[in-house]
Amino acid sequence: MLPVTADLVLRNVALPTGRRADVVIAGGIVRHIGAPVRADETLDCSRYTCLPGAVDMHVHMRGGAQAEKEDWRTGTMSAVAGGVTVVVDQPNTVPPLTTPALLRARIYEAEEQAVCGFAVNASVVPGADLAGMRDAGAMAFGETFAAPSSYGEGLDPETLRGLFSCIHALGGLATIHAEEVRGPAPATLADHDRTRSGAGEARAVRGVSDLAPEGLRLHFCHLSTAASIGAARGTVEVTPHHLFLSYEMFEDDDTRARVNPPLRDEETRRGLWSRWDAIDVVASDHAPHTLREKALPFEIAPSGIPGVETMVPLLMAAVREGRITLASVIEKTSWRPAAILGIPRAGFEPGDRADYAFYPDEITRIDASCLHAKCGWSPFEGFAAVFPEEVIVRGTRAYAQGDFRETHPAWYPGQGYLSSKN
């Protein structure tokens, strides 16, 4: 039934079908498409490209003991300014999220500070209370480290096999960081690429796929080569930094480009683009460190880069340049991650979550001084991008022409939490 009044009406929205219509929103969801009604607020969208809000399945919002790098407030402001309306926080925090109490404290921290929707994953290590965290609302299990990375120790195959069996029994989704690490501490970006090679990553993906019991839902994080995508069983994720950056674009010892898995050479980067249609999800792996930390010698500088605010804008520039389709960006940044996680999708049908970002036609250049991440830098400085001018979170204008408004973002618990309450 058509509501008499609405909270917000988006007028003249260009729908994916090609037609233009009004989107009527009340209570944070789409109520109707087409007929105009009275509304508390209206927004003329005729000069914008409208995308469903992105779901970034892979962020590290820091906070707590790491608040100097980022916190929920600054990290989610950065997300919203980049068209991301739901983020999924990884559990390799300090301390890691291994108990229901720690998970609930993390969720409470986000509820107090976040300006967009969020979910929180559970840490997968020996001794972690996986069942308890599922019941407490963990979205997924991992990122599960099949190789060491910042704030995460690598797990041996037998330990992984046992933990996978537990996750399978719980009906959970296992998200995987798969790499091989060989050789001494790297001194350059090229060394880093060799130490954590693309071939080793593909072997690790195959090994993890073989370890997992039949029926376990696997999601491979931040795959960096075409071969790794081909080796995976389950869904696969890539990052903007592996799509848009190669280590050859930087000075050999530039620690700002140090990330796990490493940036690859240009040939490998182009090869990753060749598998665009096989990629399920683009996620940022937003992992900010301060410039002071990044100024340490290469051998000990932390791996990780900020990226949640620039993820969709980089892809939108590629759409404007004719390199990829708008439909594929919507699928990989919004609809597919929502389906994998089991959360309501944002979209243009009655009942859909009313999260949107509105992009102008103009391509600009990334200027780190204009971004919102607390760390204050970006490896994408100067890259072409299209940033949203308006962002809607749960039917509320959360971001308008550079200004943030008060919102009431949702926590999205995992399916285990929902079923335990039924």
289 is in an annotated binding site: yes
- Listed in order, strand segments (DSSP E) in 165-284 are 173-177, 217-220, 235-238, 281-282
- State the number of CA atoms in the 13 A half-sphere of 287 facing the CB: 29
DSSP β-bridge partners for residue 52: 356
179 is in an annotated binding site: no
**Residue 362: exposure state from Cβ atoms within 10 A (0-12, 13-18, ≥19):** exposed
Residues 6+ apart with CB under 8 A from 107: 120, 137, 411
Helix/strand/coil for 243: helix
285 is in an annotated binding site: yes
Question: Which one of the listed residues 7, 22, 285, 352 is annotated catalytic?
Answer: 285
Residue written as tokens 């069983």?
233
- Listed in order, strand segments (DSSP E) in 208-256 are 217-220, 235-238
60 is in an annotated binding site: yes
Nearest alpha-carbon partner for 393 in 357, 358, 360:
357
The answer to whether the CB of 205 falls within 8 A of the CB of 261 is: no
Residue type, 376: G
Distance (Å, rounded) from C-alpha 299 to C-alpha 254? Answer: 11
- Listed in order, strand segments (DSSP E) in 146-192 are 173-177
Q: For this structure, is 367 an active site residue?
A: no
Distance (Å, rounded) from C-alpha 58 to C-alpha 55? Answer: 9
61 is in an annotated binding site: yes
Residue type, 241: H
Annotated binding site for Zn(2+): 58, 60, 143, 177, 222, 285
Which residue numbers belong to the known binding site for substrate?
Answer: 60-62, 92, 289
Which residues are tagged catalytic? 285
